Amino acid sequence: MDSTYVRKGFGLKREIETELAAYHSQVVDRLKAGGNTLVVADLTFRLAREFGFCYGVDRAVEYAYESRRKFPDRRILLVGEIIHNPHVNARLEEVGVAILGYDPNGTFDFSGIGPEDVVLMPAFGVTAKDFERLRAIGCVLVDTTCGSVLNVWKRVERYAKDGFTALVHGKHYHEETKATVSQVTKYAGGRYLILFDMSEAEVVCRFIEAGDNLEEMERLFRHRVSDGFDFSRDLVRVGVANQTTMLAKESLAIAARIGESLARRYGHDVLGEHFRSFDTICSATQDRQDAVLELIDEQLDVMLVIGGYNSSNTNNLAKICAANVRTFHISDATCVDPATGTIRHKPVDATEEREGRAWLDGVRRIGLTAGASTPNNKIGEAVERILETKGLRLDG
């Protein structure tokens, strides 16, 4: 057994219960006990059926605290953020976990790491190159990579082995997508292309079918493809995958659209020789998206989405909600200011926060959800600050 690579934790969950309790919320417990409903005076809160921390995030956070407990006298280092939630990462720093940054070349700086150190790999995973760099150092590696992410890796590896280009629906700058496409390039001839949305998929489809937009393909994708990518050669056999936290509906639609184009180009009878597709959206992401779709069918006055602004799954929850009801995406409870009655929030597709005034005027029913990297205590704190804004408080 390799003592320098740990993927199943250290069995210390009972010993770190105090640390994990900080992420719990009595307010959320009360909401759940009431059928995900809380009524205070004339204000009703409705919590989505599925919300907040998923299994993969729970596991990653647990392993981080277990590592600190297991190795009290060693340096604990974390490759980037463990999840996309600023409070979770800040709390880890408070207990002595150091977050590694990038060097001037945009790669993680491992220069100061030695064999005596313990390094945590985040829930998103790390690139194949970074993994090999860390293994060569000989430090203890604690791998918290989410199982759903690993499933995508297996899928794109199979594409590469079978000579299919991995077409990945995702954000090219996201840690998970970087780690995913790196699995492809472990194989000779492995190729990938990353696209962001359906409009970009349409550009790819036009090239597959007609091949008359090479300049547009070069402009859009030249920095989102594997080295040596040839658009004419490498889009003949395509396997579709996705970043696990993307909009499920869009990922499925993109896969279907790519399949249609390849069928038109090469014929339906031989489509299997040119196209593969598997839904690699994680179940937790899907469940949270389905839950907000159910919730916004109700008569809500406003929807509050809580989670980090750099969290892909949280941003997609906000996008779903905003298409149907007045929605505020906040990073945490401090965005709600009871003293002024304002709310700092990030509108869908915006890059910066904005301030909303009198946002609770006339509001009686508030929907709540949170991204998979948002702990329950941040949901509970938001509820309490909303009540304070309205001059209300919880009994008991």
**What pLDDT, on a 0 to 100 scale, did the predictor assign at position 183?**
98
Torsion angle of the four alpha carbons 283, 159, 135, 69, in this order, in degrees rounded to the nearest 10: 10
| Cα–Cα distance, 36 to 46 (Å, whole number) | 6
Q: Could you give phi then psi for residue 99, rounded to 5 degrees?
A: -90, 125
Give pLDDT < 70 ranges for the chain.
1, 396
Tell me which residue of 108, 88, 92, 111 sits closest to 100, measured CA to CA.
Answer: 108
Contact 6/353 with Cβ under 8 angstroms? no
Strands 5-6, 140-143: pairing kind: parallel
Q: Could you tell me where the DSSP H helices lie in the chain? A: 17-21, 26-33, 55-70, 86-94, 128-137, 147-161, 175-184, 198-209, 214-221, 231-234, 248-266, 283-295, 312-322, 376-389
Exactly one of 50, 66, 176, 381 is catalytic; name it: 176
pLDDT the model gives residue 288: 96
pLDDT at 382 (0 to 100): 98
Half-sphere exposure of 257 (CA within 13 A, CB side): 19
Tokens 């779903």 — which residue? Answer: 320
What SS3 string covers 260-271? Answer: HHHHHHHCHHHH
pLDDT at 190: 97
List 368's β-bridge partners, or say none: 47, 304
Domain ranges in the chain? Answer: 34-54+284-389, 55-146, 148-281
* Confidence at residue 396, expressed as pLDDT on a 0 to 100 scale: 53
* Fold agreement between 34-54+284-389 and 55-146: no
Please say whether the beta carbons of 379 and 27 come within 8 A: yes
- Is 34-54+284-389 a domain of CATH 3.40.1010.20? yes
Q: Catalytic: 15? A: no
Q: What is the DSSP letter of 330?
A: E
Q: Tabulate helix, strand, coil % of the chain (nearest 5).
A: 40, 20, 40
Pick the CATH number of 148-281 from 3.40.1010.20, 1.10.357.10, 1.10.1040.50, 1.20.1440.120: 3.40.1010.20
Residue type, 359: W
Question: Which pLDDT belongs to residue 278?
Answer: 84
Give the global pTM.
0.92
Compute the chain's Rg from CA coordinates. 23
- Concatenate the DSSP letters of all residues of 156-218 into one string: HHHHHHTT-EEEEES-TTSHHHHHHHHHHTTSTT--EEEE-SHHHHHHHHHHHHT---HHHHH
Q: Which top CATH class is 55-146?
A: alpha beta
- Residue 279: its pLDDT value, please? 79
Q: How far is CA 176 from CA 81, 124, 276, in A?
A: 12, 5, 21
Nearest to 300 by CA among 322, 272, 285, 275: 322
